[in-house]
Structure 1
């Protein structure tokens, strides 16, 4: 009985087509080890293939593997992303809010995951005398029920309707006068090489200013953000104190921890089995 040759015996062009097919069929990062196992070849060969495919603009190579070209590169409306990963975002919000103490000044970024932090802060009736600074109109309104326990400060600036956010010019005027205890930052990508990244440059610049206004940086990101890198670098990994996540695979979390960043997994760690499914550990 005849059988097809193993992937390892495939000529490079066919092997490249197979890699592109695997990457394009995935929802996020496809790791080098996963590709090597699927192809029956070495990780060294796969890395060489990924470099070639990246140069040919067929996929985008990132640290640890590859993502499909343009993956996550389109900025999406807040209302669209709000309905995604809701359980993970709620868990992240609760775990992040648990890091805040009465009397502190907190900076909250724009985005659906920082908005979940805002909701969890409001729900913490034990908190008092908390000042929250935000550049998000949506988040400011969500915090309103906590007044007068909370003081809510909106940065001002130029309105971006897609995210209901306030950016430069003028947003910096308030942030330059704030010395906050902690900032909770969102983004569209998180990986070891680039740190926290974002698809939109005006948002990215304001996120940097938000981080500069606080003594401690906490990134809030669900598992879909891991292993992705986008155009705007918000914060290098060495400048991030804590990452709070949920819905993240253990092999995605491990490189961040190995780089020295504390990672809080709000819903328990997950692993990938050989069939590529996500299971709760």
Structure 2
């Protein structure tokens, strides 16, 4: 296996560890070893790396989620979690964009994959974003006009928030919004940061169609700040995970696409 393949395998395995810990709350190393089909030594190595970045907390003989209140992670960290799933979601979402459309692209690691998946063949498309890294990703597309909202920089996500970001968004009438989140449930879309949630709510208000892009680890979770009701979401694009799709979520959303 190539070095790239090994790195992707490690990232995928650590993503599965996070999913299992989120689902169970706390797990012993021996149980994770059985569930993942790898040695306890490998599991401990993965847990050490995840604990170093604050994604989990080690316990005697096991692991649990960190103390609530510290749930937001840097973009550089989240982009290495469920990487393959986010790429699939990004490709599916990018396929929805048509020539001549105006779209809003929210911040986040999954929406970044949407930007990366946009084809060079797109014509006369305008993308409005509050993500500095996303704007840079879109520079490669010669026929896509990129509008950056402006505002105050949040280095954690390379995102722009108020003041000023809201003023720009209120001038936009978008065909569709690709919305990231920290949780989506029957209660709706939620986010870990209140400043970003305010911007996301404005994006929802200015868009004809809301497409939520969220990997399976976000399903059924409720984070700190409300962004949108489930009734405001037209499409959810997500990935296959260990646990089945929550029934309440299936009932609440009209169009769920699992890739």
Structure 1 residue 29, shift from structure 2 partner: 3.4
Question: In the TM superposition, what are the counterparts of 1:266-281 in structure 2 within 5 Å?
Answer: 266=259
1:219 aligns with 2:209: no
Alpha-carbon offset, residue 190 of structure 1: 1.1
Q: CA offsets per residue over residues 76-102 of structure 1, 9 Å max, x none?
A: 111011111110000000000111101
Give the structure with higher Rg (CA): 1
Q: 1:94 to 1:71 in 2, by over 3 A?
A: farther
How many residue pairs match? The answer is 204
> Displacement, 1:261?
2.5
From the superposition, tell whether residues 252 and 71 of structure 1 become closer, same or farther in structure 2 (CA, over 3 Å). farther
1:138 aligns with 2:106: no
Deviations along 1:245-278, one digit per CA (max 9) or x if unpaired, are: 1133572254322224210111xxxxxxxxxxxx
Contact 1:256 1:263 in 2 (8 A): no
Q: Structure 1 unaligned runs (5+)?
A: 1-24, 32-66, 267-281
Query: Which structure 2 residue ranges, 5 or more long, are not aligned?
Result: 1-18, 26-63
Please, what is the CA RMSD of the aligned residues?
Answer: 2.2
Q: Give the equivalent residue in structure 2 for 1:74.
A: 71
Q: Report the CA distance shift for 1:240/1:30 in structure 2 as closer, same or farther (over 3 A).
A: farther
Cα distance in 2 between the residues matched to 1:73 and 1:138: 23
1:172-199, CA deviations, whole angstroms, 9 ceiling, x for partnerless residues? 111111000000000111111x211111
SS of equivalent residue, structure 1 residue 27: helix
Does the C-alpha gap of structure 1 residues 68 and 86 become closer, same or farther in structure 2, counting only changes over 3 Å? Answer: closer
**Contact 1:237–1:261 under 8 Å retained in 2:** no
1:128 aligns with 2:95: no
User: CA offsets per residue over residues 191-217 of structure 1, 9 Å max, x none?
Assistant: 11x211111100111111111111100
Aligned residue number for residue 187 of structure 1: 181
Bigger mean CA deviation after superposition, 220-229 or 70-79: 70-79
Aligned in 2, Cα 1:249/1:216: closer, same or farther, shift over 3 Å?
A: farther
Contact 2:233 2:253 in 1 (8 A): no
Aligned with residue 256 of structure 1, among 243, 249, 254: 249
Residue 162 (structure 1) aligned with residue 159 (structure 2) = no
| TM-score normalized by the length of structure 2 | 0.74
Change (3 A) 1:85 1:216: same
1:58-73 residue pairs with structure 2 within 5 A? 70=67, 73=70
1-side partners of 2:92 and 2:68: how far apart? Answer: 28
